[in-house]
Amino acid sequence: MDFTQDDCNGNPHHLFAELEENNVVILEFFMNNCTPCVTAGNALMDTYDMLLEEYPGHVKWYHFGYNNTYNCDLVSGWVDTHGFNSTPFTNGAAQVAYYGGFGMPTVVVVGGASHEVIFAEVGYSSGDADDIYELVTEFFAANPLAVEKEVASVLAMNAFYNSATQQINLQVQNDVASDLTIEVCSLTGQAVLNSQNVKYSGKEQSVQIDAAGISNGVYIIKLTAGTNVITQRISVSR
């Protein structure tokens, strides 16, 4: 079921447009004070983190209130309270009805340009997160262009955060000289820092990025040279 809606951070979303970029979206519809919803969220968070590390930028995780009375304060508060790194939304009633009616949580995974429903279940059972991981992995195996664009590369990179200087340090290696584009992205794929057109000599080279303006957390470093892309997960902790 398509939707066009702003999330509770003020960012616009059009589901079908996101899927047509060969992305997978995990949807959990929850009720406040629902213990199985929290259990499902904890399991989905582990699965989401693993999938995002394997398919950076191609996996998204959204939480919706199960009806249209939930406001952003409630949804965002619930997500923050439980430490989920998902994107919060309100107004999930129509989707809950579409995917099978009332039952909390309702968990749905959709993906690809065909708007395929990869997984859907009313309620949550032990093992669902493992099933989702396997099904999403199978989806990307059947849609390799989306994955190869991100992970296939002749680049080599080692990145680490230096808390003393509040810089992200990168050691970069490539076969040929080229301009580099470096992005620091959140786990939801949104760029938080950009370093455009770094001149690269074709030999091993050090690059420093000022990270004083970002908060503690886990980020994805995305390095692009021509058509080659490589990513690395990094932790920022002061």
pTM for the whole structure? 0.63
Domains of the chain in sequence order:
4-149 (3.40.30.10), 153-236 (2.60.40.3080)
pLDDT, residue 147, reads: 39
- CA–CA dist 30, 36 (Å, integer): 9
Q: Say if residues 44 and 61 touch (Cβ distance below 8 Å).
A: yes
pLDDT, residue 196, reads: 59
pLDDT, residue 129, reads: 93
Low-confidence ranges of the chain (pLDDT < 50): 145-154
5-11, long-range: CB within 8 Å, 24+ apart, which pairs? 5/89, 5/91, 7/62, 7/87, 7/88, 7/89, 8/72, 8/75, 8/76, 8/87, 8/88, 8/89, 8/90, 9/87, 9/88, 11/87, 11/190
pLDDT, residue 7, reads: 94
Q: Say if residues 198 and 180 touch (Cβ distance below 8 Å).
A: yes
Measured over the CA atoms of residue 95, residue 101, residue 107 and residue 110, the dihedral's sign is: negative
